[in-house]
Amino acid sequence: MAEFTLELNDDQKQVRDWLHGFAADVIRPAASEWDEREETPWPVIQEAAKVGIYSLDFYAQQFFDPTGLGIPMAMEELFWGDAGIALSIVGTGLAAVGVLANGTEEQIGTWIPQMYGDADDVKVAAFCSSEPDAGSDVASMRTRAVYDQAKDEWVLNGTKTWATNGGIANVHVVVAVVDPELGSKGHASFIVPPDTPGLSQGQKFKKHGIRASHTAEVVLEDVRVPGHCLLGGKEKLDQRLARARERAATGGERVKNAAMATFEASRPAVGAMAVGTARAAYEVALDYAKTRTQFGRPIIDNQGVAFQLADMRTRIDAARLLVWRASWMATTGKPFESAEGSMSKLYASETAKKVTAQAIQILGGNGFTREYPVERMHRDAAIYTIFEGTSEIQRLVIARTLSGMPIR
Catalytic residues: 388
Cβ atoms 381, 353 nearer than 8 A: yes
How far apart (Å, rounded) are the C-alpha atoms in residues 145 and 294? 64
As a whole number of Å, the end-to-end CA separation of the chain is 37
Residue 3's identity, in one-letter code, is E
Could you tell me whether strands 297-298 and 187-192 are parallel, antiparallel, or unpaired per DSSP bridges?
A: unpaired
CA separation, residue 382 to residues 343, 395, 396 (Å): 17, 17, 19
Cβ-Cβ contacts under 8 Å for 56 (sequence gap 6 or more): 96, 112, 113, 115, 116
| Separation between Cα atoms, residue 328 and residue 45, nearest integer Å | 28
Determine which helix (DSSP H) or strand (DSSP E) holds 403, and give its type and residue range: helix 391-403
DSSP string, 168-233: T-SEEEEEEES-GGGGGGGEEEEEE-TT-TTEEEEEEPP-SS-TTS-EEEEEEEEEEEEGGGBTT-
| Phi and psi, residue 195, nearest 5° | 60, 30
The counts of H helices and E strands in the chain are 14, 11
Q: Is 333 helix (H, G, I), strand (E, B) or coil?
A: coil
For the four alpha carbons of 48, 52, 53 and 57, in that order, the dihedral sign comes to: positive
SS3 32: helix
Closest by Cα among 223, 259, 199 to 144: 223
Residue 297 host element (H or E): strand 297-298
- What 8-state DSSP symbol labels residue 70? H
Alpha carbon distance 282, 320 (integer Å):
14
Q: At what angle do helices 374-381 and 258-291 cross, to 10 degrees?
A: 160
Taking alpha carbons only, the member of 161, 167, 165 closest to residue 175 is 161
